[in-house]
Structure 1
Amino acid sequence: MINHQPIEKIQQKAKTNGNQTNKLERINNQPGDEMLLERPQNQIQEEEFLIRPTEMSDLEKAVELFNVCSLHMIGKKEASLTDVRSEWLLPQFDLERATRIVLIPEGKVVGYIEVWDIDRTPVRVWVWGRVHPDYEGRGIGTNLMKWAEERARQAIDKVPADLQVTMQSGSFSTYEAAHELFRDRGMKTIRHFYTMATELDSLPEKPQWPDGLHVRNIRGEAEIRDVIWVIRDAFKDHWGYVEQPFEEEYQRWLHFIRHDDKYDPSLWFLALDGDEIAGISLCEEKSSEDPNMGWVNVLGVRRPWRKRGLGLALLQHSFREFYSRGKHRAGLGVDAS
């Protein structure tokens, strides 16, 4: 759980229009492997668009699309080959079943969508997609969302009958095209999140650790299990938390840190009370969109140690480390609710 202590000079950087959600009902429709997109009745199109399952050979073109879209929406690139490849290679993520990619006859990628329902009990199905800004308004987003809804309904059979399954997605608050698409599909806004950033003009203030607590780095993969346990304990009362089998979560963590070139154990900080971990700050030397900004990926304080300034101390410690590495900014994401 993020400890909401005031942080000097921290500013709103970008507001995301949180999670859009839609309740799913049981149906028998199954998505096809390949289909032509429907055309809006009131528009004439010069091209035919082909939608098919994504392949690993599409990686570079897909990442190019993601960055064209993020440059259009927020003025910065947000995707890297390494990050996307590591997600596509996750053993539980079936690229053929979980994604669709849209191409024009020349082979250019103009649309993409992915459906995440890999949890053992997938009551919240996450959908993420992009449409090339030059091809908006031609039915690509609508057809991709229709496919995603059908695909997401498959999660219903994986959960007990008394549980509700929702499909969730998100968008930048300033990007009305996405909001309109979500509304047209019957979705509603339920949550807002912020990306926060602060300038590191000078060495940040030295942290004041609560009595009896000290900080050190993680000791490699041997402590990954301990870190996961702390995160589960710290975030179990957070919105949307659904506990999954520990061993499955552990294997996913190992996959991502072994495939992530940004993983740096010298930037994973553990605050300890004796031998017990009270809080964590798991950082990356640079964010996906700004190489000069250090990024706090996970900040968590367990309930018995909250309201003692530990969250602030972990942030200050992390910011000082960023500054020592020549970073001019620091950022993190927070739940605005």
Structure 2
Amino acid sequence: MSSASTTDQVVHPPAPPLAPIAERAAAPSTLPAVTAGDLTWRPATSADAPALLTLRNDIAEADQEPYRETLDEIEELFTAPWRDVAADTLVGADADGALRAYAMVDTNPGDARTVRVFLAGGVHPTHRARGIGREVLAWQVARARQVLAASGKELPARLALYGEDSDPPAKVRLYARFGFAPRRFYADLRRDLAAPVPEVPLDGSLRLVPWSPELDEATRLAHNDAFRDHWGSEPRTAEAWTHGRSHHAPQWSFLVVDDAPDVDALLAGAETEDLVDEETAAALRAGEPLVVGYQMASRYDEDFPVRGYSFGYTDILGVRRAYRGRRVAVAALAAGMRAFAADGMQYASLDVDTENPSGAHGLYASLGYEKVSGSRMYSIEI
């Protein structure tokens, strides 16, 4: 037993104030040249989408990644209104015009707690071991630092990239060489839909409904509230929330609404965000519908042959903090599983942060989800 009194408190010194983001980002005035591999380098354009799709899928096959992409997904990379494609992308073409490497950096316009820049890139398997990957990543890091510096957001900052647990060792070593450390780990789970799906009654004025466009903004607000206490999560703006839905499956997506919320009780915690955030408070005062939980799903047919089975995919599952403990997530998830099964899918699939603070990993295990593979986020914290 400690000799300290149980009333003693450990006083931690306050964290030192952050230096200005323009200083912390250490952004270079010019970007490093990419010259390796005898390739011609230029920014990507929307006309590159088919070639970029081929390149990315060739890389995914070589690295045994458990997914493939579609042209619609690639075209979405060029249509996000907040992206500066000319400044934030790079492609390398060989003498025949075929793309052999690419680089992209991207940021989230809604970041309010940590300003982040995400890096994505790769080299075709036929052009590896030529120094291309090293130069491409150097360009990405430099450009990402410029984006951070230009953000003007005086917040903690992060450069981040994602990889599979099965990534080639050379790729992992390259990340480490540039200072990226594995920071977060994710589990790819699946659940056999041949097993019975539980019926989950909801209490009080809670009601399960199909997703609809009319409730989509209320769902965005629910998402931003649900993930306020999740590491690495940031608010989604309306434009970011609706962008990139080429695989969205509305017939597989379900919401839980509260038809008679205790508005006064919810608003009582608005100032401290104990129960609702400011956007939700405004919606409640305006009499807007209150979505309290959601299961948003997508269909990735191109992944079925890669994985060897068909599946419905839960992109995001969340519950407002004021409604946790009322089986809202289970009801929405079970509705999605029944919809998957009704359309002939063999499995329900999703990814979960292994350190999710809401206990989601335990929830999925209790419903029969099992790990299939894993991925991780590497980052440089600034």
Q: TM > 0.5 between the two?
A: yes
The answer for the alignment partner of 2:228 in structure 1 is: 236
Is residue 35 of structure 2 the alignment partner of residue 37 of structure 1? yes
User: 1:271 matched to which residue of 2?
Assistant: 256
Is it true that 1:165 corresponds to 2:157 in the alignment?
Answer: yes
* Cα displacement (A) at 1:86: 1.4
Shift of 1:286: 3.6
In structure 1, distance between residues paired with 2:24 and 2:175: 14
Distance 1:219 1:164, change over 3 A: closer
The one of 82, 91, 94 aligned to 1:92: 82
Match of 2:118 among 121, 126, 130: 126
- Deviation of 1:237 after TM superposition, in Å, equals 0.8
Residue aligning to 1:69: 59
Counterpart AA for 1:103: A
Once the two structures are superposed, residues 217-263 of structure 1 have per-residue CA deviations (whole angstroms, 9 ceiling, x without a partner) of 1232x32211110000000111113346xxxx212333434xx2x33
Q: Does 1:256 align with 2:247?
A: no
Q: Secondary structure at the match of 2:184?
A: coil
Structure 2 counterpart of 1:300 = 318
Per-residue Cα deviation, 1:121-142 (whole angstroms, up to 9, x for no partner): 5711110112112222211111
**Whole-angstrom distance in 1 between the partners of 2:234 and 2:209:** 29
1:61 deviates by: 1.2
Q: Give the 3 Å change call, closer, same or farther, for CA 210–334 of structure 1 in structure 2.
A: farther
| Matching of residues 211-222 of structure 1 within 5 Å | 211-220=204-213, 222=214
- Looking at structure 1, the residues matched to 315 and 174 of structure 2 have their Cα atoms a distance apart, in angstroms, of 29
- 1:317 maps to 335
2:186–2:351 Cα contact (<8 Å) kept? yes
Task: Return the letter of the residue paired with 2:31.
Answer: P
TM-fit CA distance, 1:36? 4.6
Q: 1:236 to 1:181 in 2, by over 3 A?
A: same
Cα gap change, 1:149 to 1:204, in 2 (>3 Å): same
Amino acid at match of 2:86: E
Alignment-mate amino acid for residue 188 of structure 1: A
Paired position in structure 2 for 1:4: none
Does residue 198 (structure 1) correspond to residue 186 (structure 2)? The answer is no
1:174 partnered with 2:166:
yes
- Report how far residue 70 of structure 1 moved: 1.3
Q: Tell me, in whole angstroms, the C-alpha distance in 2 between the residues paired with 1:198 and 1:148.
A: 37
- Distance in 1 of aligned mates of 2:154 and 2:91: 34
- CA distance in 2: counterparts of 1:183 and 1:229, whole angstroms: 37
Larger radius of gyration: 2
- Pair 1:186-2:179 in alignment: yes
The more displaced of 198-207 and 300-309 is: 198-207
More divergent stretch after superposition (108-117 vs 308-317):
308-317
SS in 1 for 2:159: strand
* Structure 2 residues without counterparts, runs of 5 or longer: 1-22, 261-289, 356-382
State the match for 1:289 in structure 2.
303
Q: Which amino acid aligns with 2:92?
A: V
Measured in 2, the distance between the counterparts of 1:59 and 1:319 equals 33
Checking the alignment, whether the CA contact within 8 Å between 1:24 and 1:166 is kept in structure 2 is no
Please, what TM-score do these two structures have when normalized by structure 1?
A: 0.80
Query: Between Structure 1 and Structure 2, how many residues are aligned?
Result: 297
Q: Per the alignment, do residues 178 and 288 of structure 1 end up closer, same or farther by CA in structure 2, a change over 3 Å counting?
A: farther
Percent identity, aligned pairs only, is 23
Aligned equivalents of 2:110, 2:314: Cα separation in 1 = 28
Superposed displacement of residue 31, structure 1? 2.8
Alpha carbons of 1:288 and 1:278: their partners in 2 closer, same or farther (altered >3 Å)? Answer: farther
Structure 1 residues 40-96: Cα deviation after superposition (integer angstroms, max 9, x where no partner): xxxxxxx51222111222111111111111122235442110011012111221221
Cα shift readout 1:156-205 (whole Å, capped 9, x = no counterpart): 33345753322110111121222111001111111111111122224523
Q: How many Å apart are 1:268 and its aligned residue?
A: 2.3
Opposite residue 272 of structure 1, the aligned amino acid is V
Letter in 1 for 2:69: A
The reply to whether residue 59 of structure 1 matches residue 57 of structure 2 is: no
The root-mean-square deviation of aligned C-alpha atoms, in Å, is 2.4
Which residue identity does 1:267 align to in structure 2? W
